[in-house]
Structure 1
Amino acid sequence: MSVVFRLWPRRRPSRERARPASTIRFVTGHLISAAGLVGSVVRNQAGGEIGRIKDIVVRWDDAAYPQVTGLVIRVGRRITFLHATNIAEMTHSGVQLRSARLDLRDFVRRDGEIQLIDDLLDHQLIDVSGVRVVRSSDLYLASIVGTYRLVGVDVGLQSLMRRLGPARVRRKPTPSRVIDWSTIQPISRPGEPLRLGRTRQALHRLRPAELADLVEELGAAQRQAFVAALDPDVAAEMLEEMETEPLEDLLTDMPREQAANLLANMAPDEASEALREMDEEDREEVLEEMGHLVRNELALLLAYDEDTAGSMMTNVMVVVSLNTTVEQAIAKLGDFVEDRGDIDGVLIVDDSGRLIDDISLFELLLADRSATVGSLTGAPYPVTVHDKEHVDEVLERFVDSRGTSLVVVDDGGKPVGRILADDVIDALLEDHRLGRRSS
């Protein structure tokens, strides 16, 4: 019998609702436990035993529910492959074949296929819909329009315990916490690249912080595979949201060239902070793999002592002279499109490069395009901090200013960077984590 139905709603766990008992019984009656099939008998058309199931093979492509392509079965001492076209019926108790005559060939793993037992059962999987990493207790198959397909993964303790029981109990599905397979992303086998397939678009819809939460839950090898499968820009944004320790482990374990490329795509202040946490030898090796300009830019930030304004600032700035026209200043903003999140205003300097004012983007856009930016200067003047001031002073200055950023200047009063609100929040969270501040 073939049945078509949506097994489980695509919604986050917090929004899940109880399903009627009749629906649960109906769904359960049409599910086949992959774990329960292991060791089950494969019989020919005459009812004679051919062998016993060792694994189930599915095609890994863009299908929401991967199709079963065959079974790995043990025939005596041989491990052979049985193509799915030979299967007449698959039930909890085993498999019935269409013919008494078969061409059984030695099993060879092929590209584009996954073994449910060896590759997925008891392995970590990514639930894209629920934004979490789960571990599979069982995998469920169902007949859909004449083909057997992988339709769900059970992450419940009940199914895990069921597998420890006698054969008659092991074979019956107990779907307590089941996730629709169409929202699942497997992690690659050790040593192989991760293939995102149909879930790539869903993963890229997640916020960088959500991706960071996912990758932090994975093991070391799985983290590497996951990051390597993402677009470089997406991966860099995700790394900016990771906690210090897992980020350090991730960068240290990956090839130096890959780490250098990812760090080069990160915001300079985030990249320098990540490099600062690495061992000196590892840090120098990664810096050597970077381009000259990026390496020098990060070296300037790394030269500052930790817990100083210079160590937490970004050196991405739009700086213009007093006689620059408003139109020219706006045109210059176009060079910073990729860094727009770090641009809080346009800094105006005198002929010697000393800071005069910090003009907001809103004020700039409303000004006469033919006027000079020098005509826009005046009180209130920007709140500044010295690049070597301690982070505690920076935090107090930021709170007192009630602004969205602070301009960082050197001994000569020249702007060297800007501290944004998110940098301040990061510093406060780090203080809280280390217990530096009293409540």
Structure 2
Amino acid sequence: MTAAQAASLSLSALLRQPVTDSDGHRMGTLADLIVRLRHDDYPLVTGLVVAVGGTRVFVSAADLAALAPDRVQLAASSLDLGEFRRREGEVLLSEDVLGHRLIDVSRVAFVKAYDVQLSPVLDGWAATGLDVHRRRWLSLGPRHSAHPPRDWKDFEPLIGHAESAQVRMATGRIPELKAAQIADIIEEATEHEQDELLAQVHENPELEADVFEELDEDRQSELFKDRSDTEVAEVLGRMQADDAADALMDLPQERRVPVLDLLPEPQRALVHRLLGYHDLTAGGLMGTDFLALPATTTVADALTAVRGARLLQPQALTVIYTLAPDGTLAGALSLVHAVQAEPANVLADVADDDVVVAHATDDVVDVTTRMADFNLLAMPVLSEDRHIIGVVTVDDALEAAIPEDWSRRESNHRETGSEG
């Protein structure tokens, strides 16, 4: 145990302890501790909530003379007995954190806070750790937990206090996670938890679109139900066209045309075209992102084009397609082979001209089977005159091939802290 740990206190040991004045006279009992979240540091204790009779009053942390497991002593000899009112940005450790769910950011799972560790810092006291393990019936108390507290910074508390949400959003760590991880968390969250998670994500419109792409259809539809047509169109406008088309079709019929009309060009045109294909065909599965270059392009120029294609999804850049002078498909070159090829070579000399393709009306099962048979990361979908109209990427093929009840498995890490 370090010196800092030895000097640390447990919130649960402090709660309901007598609060005394400078002469040791009892003034009330400790009901809660107030902290302010800080982005790069531990939440600093800024005040106490003291229960005096039936009233909860505020005491500034500057008036705190001593904080110990058996006593809370103030430097003052009197209290302002005005009823406590939470100010914007304040977090109450007992009311908002203790016993509530929070997100274990490193494991991307919900856990519950069973205790809060408080440690002395240069400017007072700070919340430095969380105990997320349920105690056994024979536990010796909060100071004898079998599990040492973990670093506060490993977690994202979901406070749920609407009035302070805007201030707290600046310290939120949810945007640091991958879109698929955030989607998984949202799908497990309660309505109030969802609101807080989505509020953080909403600050980054591109991330918000990525998260909605990853949500399952039912949850996506549920969240769109509470948004206006304009707000839905703003999200769909940043999604991949194929995902946006799927999401649009999941909206109630009376909302589809109004939302479609609000989409920006060229997204509206792409989505409108994709809506003409059945879900269970290559046309319904394909995306509209791909990189196709004249066969006379040099490998060096092709790689420059890959580097510049920042608006295309990465899965669409695993293959470079080559075009004949009439714009029809001529060949395909994997990104790996392009990197390994001589930069001065033209694509026609290094690309494979025997390309495995699909057509828009091909059945999804046939498409995914063909991709598996030929170990393809992407497969072009061609029109009748051999022009590329889209590409089926391996992530979409896997999603179509894997049974729906397998796609969202129960995480082994959910509520991991609830058991010892």
TM over 0.5: yes
In the TM superposition, what is the alpha-carbon distance from 1:328 to its structure 2 partner? 6.5
In the TM superposition, what is the alpha-carbon distance from 1:385 to its structure 2 partner? 1.0
Matched-pair contact (CA < 8 Å) for 1:155–1:177? no
Q: Which residue of 1 aligns with 2:119?
A: 142
Name which of structure 1's ranges 259-268 and 411-420 shifts more when overlaid on structure 2: 259-268
State the SS of the aligned residue for 2:46.
Answer: strand
Matched-pair contact (CA < 8 Å) for 2:332–2:351? no
Matches within 5 A, 1:178-217: 178-192=149-163, 193=165, 195-197=168-170, 200=173, 203=174, 206-217=177-188
State the SS of the aligned residue for 2:129.
Answer: strand
State the SS of the aligned residue for 1:338.
Answer: coil
Q: Which residue of 2 aligns with 1:358?
A: 332
Is residue 395 of structure 2 the alignment partner of residue 403 of structure 1? no
Question: Structure 1 stretches of 5 or more lacking a match?
Answer: 8-26, 435-439
Q: In structure 2, which of residues 392, 395, 399 is the aligned counterpart of residue 422 of structure 1?
A: 395
State the SS of the aligned residue for 2:234.
Answer: helix
State the SS of the aligned residue for 1:82.
Answer: strand
Matched-pair contact (CA < 8 Å) for 1:409–1:417? yes
RCO greater where, 1 or 2, for CA within 8 Å and sep 6 or more?
A: 2
Q: Which residue of 2 aligns with 1:67?
A: 44
Q: Which residue of 2 aligns with 1:122?
A: 99
In the TM superposition, what is the alpha-carbon distance from 1:408 to its structure 2 partner? 0.5
Matched-pair contact (CA < 8 Å) for 2:100–2:113? yes
1:130-163: CA deviation from partner (whole Å, max 9, x where unpaired): 322212222232334472221222222217x69x
Is residue 316 of structure 2 the alignment partner of residue 345 of structure 1? no
Q: What is the RMSD of the two structures over their aligned residues, measured on CA atoms?
A: 3.5
Is residue 360 of structure 2 the alignment partner of residue 387 of structure 1? yes
State the SS of the aligned residue for 2:106.
Answer: coil
Q: In structure 2, which of residues 257, 268, 275 is the aligned counterpart of residue 295 of structure 1?
A: 268
Q: Which residue of 1 aligns with 2:418?
A: none
AA aligned opposite 2:373: D
Q: Which residue of 2 aligns with 1:437?
A: none
In the TM superposition, what is the alpha-carbon distance from 1:326 to its structure 2 partner? 6.5
1:252-303: CA deviation from partner (whole Å, max 9, x where unpaired): 3445444433333333333333434443345555434421321221222232
Calculate percent identity across the aligned residue pairs.
26
State the SS of the aligned residue for 1:265.
Answer: coil
Question: Structure 2 stretches of 5 or more lacking a match?
Answer: 408-420
Q: 1:400 to 1:127 in 2, by over 3 A?
A: closer
| TM-score (ref. length: structure 1) | 0.77
AA aligned opposite 1:213: D
Q: Which residue of 2 aligns with 1:263?
A: 236
AA aligned opposite 2:321: L
Q: 1:258 to 1:35 in 2, by over 3 A?
A: farther
AA aligned opposite 2:279: E
User: CA separation in 2, counterparts of 1:257 and 1:107?
Assistant: 40
Q: Which residue of 2 aligns with 1:108?
A: 85
AA aligned opposite 1:297: L
User: CA separation in 2, counterparts of 1:157 and 1:235?
Assistant: 34
In the TM superposition, what is the alpha-carbon distance from 1:308 to its structure 2 partner? 0.9
State the SS of the aligned residue for 2:150.
Answer: strand
Matched-pair contact (CA < 8 Å) for 2:293–2:322? yes
User: CA separation in 1, counterparts of 2:132 and 2:320?
Assistant: 52
AA aligned opposite 1:99: A
Q: 1:130 to 1:4 in 2, by over 3 A?
A: farther
User: CA separation in 1, counterparts of 2:296 and 2:358?
Assistant: 25
User: CA separation in 1, counterparts of 2:152 and 2:395?
Assistant: 37
Is residue 17 of structure 2 the alignment partner of residue 32 of structure 1? no
State the SS of the aligned residue for 2:42.
Answer: coil
State the SS of the aligned residue for 1:337.
Answer: coil
User: CA separation in 2, counterparts of 1:405 and 1:270?
Assistant: 17
AA aligned opposite 2:331: D
Q: 1:143 to 1:410 in 2, by over 3 A?
A: same
AA aligned opposite 1:317: F
User: CA separation in 2, counterparts of 1:105 and 1:432?
Assistant: 55
In the TM superposition, what is the alpha-carbon distance from 1:171 to its structure 2 partner? 7.0
Is residue 19 of structure 2 the alignment partner of residue 42 of structure 1? yes
State the SS of the aligned residue for 2:72.
Answer: strand
In the TM superposition, what is the alpha-carbon distance from 1:78 to its structure 2 partner? 3.3
Give the paired residue count.
400
Is residue 197 of structure 2 the alignment partner of residue 226 of structure 1? yes
Matched-pair contact (CA < 8 Å) for 2:101–2:112? yes
Q: In structure 2, which of residues 6, 26, 29 is the aligned counterpart of residue 52 of structure 1?
A: 29
In the TM superposition, what is the alpha-carbon distance from 1:244 to its structure 2 partner? 3.7
State the SS of the aligned residue for 1:151.
Answer: strand
Name which of structure 1's ranges 352-361 and 123-132 shifts more when overlaid on structure 2: 352-361
AA aligned opposite 1:343: L
Is residue 68 of structure 2 the alignment partner of residue 91 of structure 1? yes
User: CA separation in 2, counterparts of 1:295 and 1:262?
Assistant: 13
